[in-house]
A and B are shown apart, each in its own frame.
Chain A
Amino acid sequence: MNEFAQTMGTATPPASRRRRGFLKRGVIPGFGLTFGLTLAYLAIIVLLPILALVLKAASLTLAEYWAIVSSPRAVATYRLTLSSALHATLMNAVIGLLLAWVLVNYDFPGRRLLDALVDLPFALPTAVAGISLTALLAPNGWLGQFLAPLGIKVAYAQPGIVIAMAFTSLPFVVRTVQPVLEDMEPEAEEAGIMLGASDFQIFARIIFPTILPAFIAGCALAFARSLGEFGAVIFIAGNLPMQTEITALLTVIRVEEFDYAAAAALATVILMAAFAMLFVVNGIQLWQLRYLRGN
Chain B
Amino acid sequence: MTGLIGAIEANVLPTPGGGDRQAKKRVGQSPWVRRTLIASAFLLAALLLLLPVVVIFVEALGLGLGAYFDAILEPSTLHAVFLTLLTAVVVVPVNIAFGISAAWCITRFEFTGKKLLITVIEIPFSISPIVAGVAYLFLYGSQGLLGPLLAAHDIQIMFSLPAIFLASMFVTSPFVARELIATMQVQGNEYEEAALSLGASGFRTFLLITLPNMKWGLLYGALLCNARVMGEFGAVSVVSGSIRGQTNTLPLQIELLFNDYSAVGAFAAATLLTLLALISLAAKLWLERHR
Contacts and interface: CB of A to CB of B under 8 A. Distances in A.
Given A125-B231, A133-B52, A260 B138 contact: yes
Contacts, number: 399
A11 B188 CA distance: 8
Contact of B45 (A108, A114, A227, A251): A114
A112 interface: yes
Given A49-B136, A274-B127, A289-B1, A135 B202 contact: no
A76 B202 CA distance: 58
B281 A120 contact: yes
A223 B285 CA distance: 27
Interface of A: 1-11, 13, 17, 22-24, 26-31, 33-35, 37-39, 41-42, 45-53, 55-56, 95, 98-99, 101-108, 110-112, 114-121, 123-129, 131-136, 142, 166-167, 170, 175-176, 178-180, 182, 184, 186, 189-190, 192-193, 199, 202-203, 207, 214, 217-218, 221, 224, 227-231, 235, 248, 251-252, 255, 260, 263-264, 267, 270-271, 274-275, 277-278, 281-282, 284-286, 288-289
Nearest to B197: A27
A199 B185 contact: no
Nearest to A267: B134
B123 interface: yes
Given A17-B110, A182-B19, A230 B130 contact: yes
Contacts of B189: 11, 26, 28
Contact of A224 (B5, B124, B255): B5
Interface string B246-261: 0000011011001000
B26 A193 contact: yes
Contacts of A281: 4-5, 7-8
A179 B12 contact: yes
Contacts of B182: 5-8
B13 interface: yes
Contact of B284 (A1, A110, A126, A127): A1
A1 B27 contact: no
B112 A282 contact: no
B125 A230 contact: no
B51 A136 contact: yes
B114 interface: yes
Contacts of A5: 9, 12-14, 178-179, 182
Contact of A98 (B4, B41, B118, B138): B41
B33 interface: yes
A106 B38 contact: yes
Given A102-B37, A248-B130, 13 more contacts: A5-B14, A5-B178, A6-B181, A8-B2, A30-B202, A101-B28, A107-B21, A118-B49, A127-B233, A218-B8, A231-B233, A251-B130, A252-B237
A49 B55 contact: no
Contacts of B124: 46
Majority secondary structure of chain A interface residues (helix, strand, loop or mixed): helix
Contacts of A37: 97-98, 101
Contacts of A119: 281, 284
B141 to A, nearest CB: 8
Interface string B199-218: 00010001000000000000
Contact of B135 (A49, A115, A133): A49
A229 B125 CA distance: 12
Given A231-B234, A260-B143, A45 B196 contact: no
A125 B5 contact: no
Contacts of B258: 131, 134, 235
A112 B228 CA distance: 24
B266 interface: yes
Interface string B268-285: 001001101110110011
Contact of A120 (B1, B18, B49, B223): B49
20 contacts: A2-B224, A4-B6, A8-B182, A23-B112, A24-B109, A42-B121, A51-B145, A53-B138, A104-B18, A104-B21, A124-B273, A124-B274, A126-B234, A132-B270, A176-B11, A186-B25, A199-B33, A217-B11, A228-B127, A248-B128
A102 B234 CA distance: 34
Contacts of B181: 6, 8
A102 B164 CA distance: 41
B51 to A, nearest CB: 6
Contacts of B276: 125
Nearest to B107: A11
A45 B167 CA distance: 8
Nearest to B132: A49
Contacts of B228: 1
B222 to A, nearest CB: 12
Q: Which of A115, A166, A231, A288 has the most CB of B within 10 A?
A: A231
B24 interface: yes
